[in-house]
Amino acid sequence: MIELCFATNNQHKLNEVSHQLGNSFVLKTLRDIGCTDELPETSGTITGNSGQKANYIWTRFGISCFADDSGLEVEALGGEPGVDSAHYSGSRDAQKNMEKLLEKLAGNSNRKAQFVTVFTLVLHGRDAVPVTHQFEGRIAGQILTEPRGSGGFGYDPVFQPDGHNRTFAEMSEEEKNGMSHRSRALAKMIAYLEKQAY
Ligand code: ITT
């Protein structure tokens, strides 16, 4: 069975992804491989940061791995917070990040937004040459004027996916996972992995 390390320090992402991966792969955490480092995220783009995180683990630990970089893109804010989603308010405080977002959108009737994620998979190839692939997932929705619900993480209480009348934070993890940006990208990665002959 393929062993894959998920290069994330975000426990919520880990929970979401481990459920979806099921038993076809052995999922290793950063803790399992003894990595306590802060992962680099300095490229300025979601795609670039995703690659940086996975390549960091491959280079230091030589283990097949994947990383997810994700963010919320709000149309009326020109795509903000985007790559800065995790620390939009200046700190990694989800409450403060949401407050800043709602303040910036106050009085604005265009509430369109999307969550975006890019997974980078680095697989141990022949002769230890790494094989790298990226997979993207998106979900469109609206930013509400105030938070609702207590599930999920990050901006989930203010994000309502199109076609639904509840926020991600009002849904069960299973329901969010049935449509989220992360699960869509992950489904593509799993389909790719299942095609590989091991
Ligand atoms: P790692 O880098 O260790 O994986 P992180 O939390 O720093 O964890 P990102 O750099 O990818 O993750 O930042 C993503 C941020 O975007 C995250 O902290 C949330 O604020 C937001 N975000 C991403 N996916 C989300 C989701 O499903 N629901 C709500 N907010 C999300």
| Residue pair 85/70 in contact by the 8 Å Cβ criterion | yes
Q: In three state form, how does the secondary structure of 14-57 look?
A: HHHHHHHHCCCEEEECCCCCCCCCCCCCCCCCHHHHHHHHHHHH
**What is the C-alpha separation between 119 and 134, in angstroms, rounded?**
5
Average pLDDT over residues 174-178: 94
Chain mean position to CA 78: 20
C-alpha of residue 155 to centroid of ligand 1, in Å: 9
Reported as a single tens digit per residue, the pLDDT across 34-78 is 999 999 999 999 999 999 999 999 999 999 999 999 999 999 999
pLDDT class for 197, splitting at 50, 70, 90?
A: low
Most informative mutation of 85, 158, 166 for ligand 1 (most atoms within 8 A of CB): 85
Which domains, from first to last, does the chain contain?
A: 2-195 (3.90.950.10)
Does the pLDDT at position 25 exceed 90? no
pLDDT class for 137, splitting at 50, 70, 90?
A: very high
Residue type, 122: V
Residue nearest to atom 15 of ligand 1 (CA): 86
Does the pLDDT at position 33 exceed 90? yes
- For the question of whether the overall pTM of this predicted structure is more than 0.85, the answer is yes
